[in-house]
């Protein structure tokens, strides 16, 4: 029987109920069609294994009627002499040696059937699991490929944790289901149907009485399972409240202590925690009740079989219309009922697991069916070597159809120019730089590079000639060497080191425990923000792009590191067209063109000096945000 923890895990999956079972199973069938041999082998083995369970009760009945308590007119399959003696009414001719020999043969046969069935079940599980794992490998490959192709707009609307769960949790649930759970349900259903056929073939009235408790078991299973699911749903809601209370209390610890609210906060947590305990106790009570209730009903069914069968044997008249009952028949039906009742609990619980797997399949197929918003045109051309002229022609763009971010933006950046983009939060600065490598598409107008509409060329040939350095630098859990080489995978070690030296990163890299071969932690853990930024710049330098995008690349670093990065920019910017979203005056002041954005429109453009002289919106921004940097920037270095 399944323990409390196992039942809890499966009942907790009730929130993942499948919606379109038929359609999802049809898609699964399409995957399994590629591994049909393994599936067929598993099903054949299961059929034979179920047969070993179905015939065993008949042999037990033979042992009783032929050898333990011989019954006249019985047909004994394993001993023709014993069978002939019973048919002829010469029971005295059956010796003790014949009985012992017959019992021994049946015992060996039953043992062989048990071992044979166990081996078949193991082989079926292996064959089905092997097929399922091949299917999952294909699904994971397709999922990962899809995730690499999906547009950035998709990631801005979907949490990474949810996407990770589809590849890990959902696929793992499917793996378990199409290994153990599905075979158990198939074998259980087949066993129950086969046993019903055998029982009704042997004695219809006795079968009806023997199975009379089954509807009660089914109703009890459905009701208790439903109550457990609802209780676990309440438990999860309460657990969410506990986590929220913990997070808020820990994050606001300073405020709690500053306002002397410790006791009130502790009391509130006790209240929430108590509600969670009560919900969990109720859920556990229903889960724990299922097995005992079904076991009790199973014993009631066995009692009915024994009592009714015994009365039919002891009395000389039919009981409830039952005739032709022998002691062996009673033993056979006892085995039938035991085997029939066993899969009921398993199927009830495992069906929840299958529902969860189908729901997981729906989520996976939903991700695989997700439309890729940004794609190459069928006739897209390869982008020629970029010179660097970038033109925005009356560009309209937004992340939602009814919420435009850019409205009628138009400008031209000539090759080799550095364009600084400034403006308040939400003005559309990041949107402009996202349109250049075609992370998003315009809703109106066009973005052209060297006269080519970025929508008419392949994204690969476009993006390989554009370098991007973001404020939030992402480094991989790999060596420093390979993190820089990510910009150009075929670069030699010497080329990587040369790029690091060009951006002033070589000095701190050499001080790392293993230099360029130092393995970084997740997202570059162990390095300062400025060091991570220098590595990301070296990665872009190695790529040698013709267009360079710097998105607030120096906004979160100290002045000393900024000077290193500015020195790196002075060496790598000449000859490249650069777009800089800057929060530091030094970057803006050195730009060829400064564009001031507000509400998705360019309201001013020019050099830093000319815009200051205009005393317009840029001047106001400068006075409020950049003026304090003037003195440090002008100081000797």
Handedness of CA 186, 192, 195, 201 (dihedral sign): negative
Gap between the Cα atoms of 297 and 217, Å rounded: 7
Gap between the Cα atoms of 420 and 38, Å rounded: 62
CB atoms inside a 10 Å sphere around CB 634 = 8
Contact of 41 with 145, CB cutoff 8 Å: no
Residue 3 vs residue 319, higher pLDDT: 319
Q: Which letter does DSSP use for residue 487 in this model?
A: T
Gap between the Cα atoms of 29 and 135, Å rounded: 10
Question: pLDDT by residue (tens digit) across 468-491?
Answer: 887 777 788 888 888 888 878 888
Backbone angles phi, psi at 488, to 5 degrees: -160, 95
Task: Read off the tokens for 246.
Answer: 């913990």
Gap between the Cα atoms of 588 and 601, Å rounded: 19
Residues paired with residue 549 on neighbouring β-strands, in sequence order: 468, 579
Does residue 464 have a pLDDT over 80? yes
Least confident stretch, 85-99, 264-278, 569-583 = 85-99
Gap between the Cα atoms of 419 and 607, Å rounded: 9
CA distances from 528 to 267, 500, 505, 522, 531 (A): 41, 16, 12, 13, 5
Specify the pLDDT at position 455: 92
Question: pLDDT by residue (tens digit) across 383-408?
Answer: 899 888 999 999 988 887 777 888 88
Contact of 561 with 530, CB cutoff 8 Å: yes
Report which secondary-structure segment, H or E, holds 547.
strand 547-551
pLDDT band for position 637 (cuts 50, 70, 90):
very low
Tallying the residues shown for the chain, one arrives at: 637
Gap between the Cα atoms of 340 and 302, Å rounded: 11
Task: Read off the tokens for 316.
Answer: 């000389």
Gap between the Cα atoms of 230 and 228, Å rounded: 5
| Strand arrangement of the beta sheet that strand 444-449 belongs to | 403-413, 390-400, 444-449, 452-453
Looking at the chain, which residues constitute the CATH 1.20.1560.10 domain(s)? Answer: 4-368
- b vs e for 242-270, b when ≥16 Cβ sit within 10 Å of the residue's Cβ? eeebeeebeeeeeebeeeeeeeebeeebe
3-state helix, strand, coil in the chain (%, to 5): 65, 10, 25
Does residue 98 have a pLDDT over 90? no
Specify the pLDDT at position 4: 42
Gap between the Cα atoms of 474 and 275, Å rounded: 42
CB atoms inside a 10 Å sphere around CB 26 = 10
| Secondary structure (3-state) at 72 | coil
Q: Which one of 1.10.3300.10, 1.20.1090.10, 1.20.1560.10, 1.10.10.10 gives the CATH number of domain 4-368?
A: 1.20.1560.10
| Averaged pLDDT score across all residues of the chain | 78
Q: Which letter does DSSP use for residue 455 in this model?
A: G
Backbone angles phi, psi at 597, to 5 degrees: -105, 145
Gap between the Cα atoms of 220 and 338, Å rounded: 18
Q: Which letter does DSSP use for residue 391 in this model?
A: E
Specify the pLDDT at position 295: 79
Question: pLDDT by residue (tens digit) across 588-601?
Answer: 777 889 998 888 88
| Secondary structure (3-state) at 444 | strand
Specify the pLDDT at position 524: 65
Gap between the Cα atoms of 616 and 158, Å rounded: 40
Gap between the Cα atoms of 115 and 121, Å rounded: 10
Looking at the chain, which residues constitute the CATH 3.40.50.300 domain(s)? Answer: 388-465+584-629
Helical pair 4-11 and 327-368, crossing angle rounded to 10 deg? 40
Does residue 511 have a pLDDT over 90? no
| Secondary structure (3-state) at 375 | coil
3-state secondary structure 225-242: HHHHHHHHHHHHHHHHHH
Gap between the Cα atoms of 448 and 442, Å rounded: 11
- Strands 444-449 and 390-400 turn out to be antiparallel
Contact of 353 with 173, CB cutoff 8 Å: yes
| Secondary structure (3-state) at 176 | helix
Mark residue 309 as left, alpha or beta (left: phi above 0; alpha: psi -120 to 50; beta: remaining): alpha
Specify the pLDDT at position 152: 72
Does residue 625 have a pLDDT over 70? no
Contacts of 269 by beta carbon, 8 Å cutoff, 6+ apart: 242, 245, 246, 249
The structure tokens 């002033």 sit at: 504
Gap between the Cα atoms of 419 and 606, Å rounded: 10
Q: Of 95, 50, 45, 106, which is closest to residue 70 (Cα–Cα)?
A: 95
Contact of 542 with 485, CB cutoff 8 Å: yes
DSSP string, 565-603: HHHHHHHHSTTSEEEEE-SSHHHHHT-SEEEEEETTEEE
Gap between the Cα atoms of 190 and 46, Å rounded: 9
Specify the pLDDT at position 74: 62
Question: pLDDT by residue (tens digit) across 25-84?
Answer: 788 778 788 888 888 898 899 999 899 888 888 888 878 877 777 776 566 666 666 666
Gap between the Cα atoms of 298 and 342, Å rounded: 9
CB atoms inside a 10 Å sphere around CB 77 = 14
Gap between the Cα atoms of 448 and 445, Å rounded: 10
Task: Read off the tokens for 599.
Answer: 């509400």
Per cent of the chain over pLDDT 90 is 5
What is the domain class of 388-465+584-629 according to CATH?
alpha beta
Question: pLDDT by residue (tens digit) across 180-211?
Answer: 777 888 888 898 899 888 888 888 888 888 88
Q: Of 535, 528, 551, which is closest to residue 475 (Cα–Cα)?
A: 535
Q: Of 338, 325, 355, which is closest to residue 173 (Cα–Cα)?
A: 355
Question: pLDDT by residue (tens digit) across 286-342?
Answer: 767 777 887 788 888 888 888 887 777 776 666 666 766 778 888 888 888 888 887
């Amino acid at each position: 029987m399944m323990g409390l923890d196992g039942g809890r895990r499966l009942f907790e999956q009730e929130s993942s109920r499948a919606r379109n079972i038929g359609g999802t199973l049809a898609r699964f069938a399409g995957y399994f069609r590629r591994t049909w041999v393994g599936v067929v082998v598993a099903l054949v083995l299961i059929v034979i294994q179920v047969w070993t369970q179905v015939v065993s009760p008949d042999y037990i009945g033979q042992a009783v009627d032929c050898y333990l308590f011989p019954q006249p007119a019985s047909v004994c399959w394993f001993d023709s002499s014993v069978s002939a003696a019973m048919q002829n009414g010469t029971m005295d001719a059956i010796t003790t040696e014949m009985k012992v020999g017959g019992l021994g043969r049946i015992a060996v046969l039953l043992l062989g059937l048990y071992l044979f069935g166990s081996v078949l079940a193991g082989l079926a599980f292996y064959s089905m699991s092997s097929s399922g794992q091949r299917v999952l490998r294909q699904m994971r490959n397709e999922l990962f490929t899809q995730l690499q192709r999906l547009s950035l707009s998709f990631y801005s609307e979907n949490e990474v944790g949810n996407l990770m769960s589809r590849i890990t949790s959902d696929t793992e649930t499917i793996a378990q289901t199409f290994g153990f759970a599905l075979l158990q349900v198939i074998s259980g259903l087949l066993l129950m149907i086969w046993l019903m056929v055998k029982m009704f073939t042997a004695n219809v009235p006795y079968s009806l009485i023997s199975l009379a408790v089954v509807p009660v078991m089914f109703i009890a299973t459905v009701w208790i399972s439903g109550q457990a699911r609802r209780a676990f749903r309440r438990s999860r809601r309460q657990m969410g409240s506990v986590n929220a209370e913990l997070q808020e209390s820990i994050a606001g610890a300073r405020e709690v202590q500053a306002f002397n609210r410790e006791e009130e906060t502790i009391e509130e947590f006790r209240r929430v925690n108590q509600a969670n305990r009560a919900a969990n106790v109720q859920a556990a009570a229903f889960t724990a009740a299922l097995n005992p209730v079904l076991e009790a009903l199973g014993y009631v069914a066995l009692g009915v079989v024994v009592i009714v069968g015994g009365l039919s044997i002891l009395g000389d008249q039919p009981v409830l219309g039952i005739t032709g009952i022998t002691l062996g028949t009673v033993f056979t039906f006892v085995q039938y009922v035991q085997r029939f009742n066993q899969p009921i609990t398993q199927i009830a619980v495992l069906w929840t697991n299958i529902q969860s797997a189908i729901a997981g399949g729906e989520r996976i197929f939903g991700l695989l069916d997700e439309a890729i918003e940004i794609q190459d045109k069928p006739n897209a051309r390869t982008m020629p070597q970029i010179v660097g002229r970038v033109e925005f022609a009356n560009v309209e763009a937004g992340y939602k159809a009814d919420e435009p971010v850019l409205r009628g933006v138009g400008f031209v950046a000539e090759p080799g120019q550095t364009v600084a983009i400034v403006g308040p939060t939400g003005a559309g600065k990041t949107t402009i730089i996202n349109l250049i490598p075609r992370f998003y598409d315009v809703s109106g107008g066009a973005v052209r590079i060297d006269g080519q509409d970025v929508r008419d060329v392949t994204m690969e040939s476009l993006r390989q000639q554009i370098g991007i350095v973001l404020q939030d630098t992402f480094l991989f859990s790999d060596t420093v060497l390979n993190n820089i080489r990510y910009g150009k995978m075929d670069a030699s070690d010497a080329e990587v080191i040369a790029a690091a030296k060009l951006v002033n990163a070589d000095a701190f890299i050499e001080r790392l425990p293993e230099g360029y071969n130092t393995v970084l932690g997740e997202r570059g853990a162990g390095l300062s923000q400025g060091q991570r930024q220098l590595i990301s710049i070296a990665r872009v330098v190695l790529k040698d792009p013709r267009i360079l995008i710097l998105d607030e690349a120096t906004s979160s670093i100290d002045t000393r590191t900024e000077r290193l990065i500015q020195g790196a920019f002075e060496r790598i910017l000449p000859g490249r067209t650069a777009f800089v979203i800057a929060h530091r005056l030094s970057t803006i002041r050195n730009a060829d063109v400064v564009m001031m954005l507000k509400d998705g429109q360019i309201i001013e453009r020019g050099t830093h000096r000319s815009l200051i002289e205009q005393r317009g919106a840029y001047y106001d921004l400068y006075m409020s945000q950049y003026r304090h940097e003037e003195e440090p920037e002008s100081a000797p270095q």
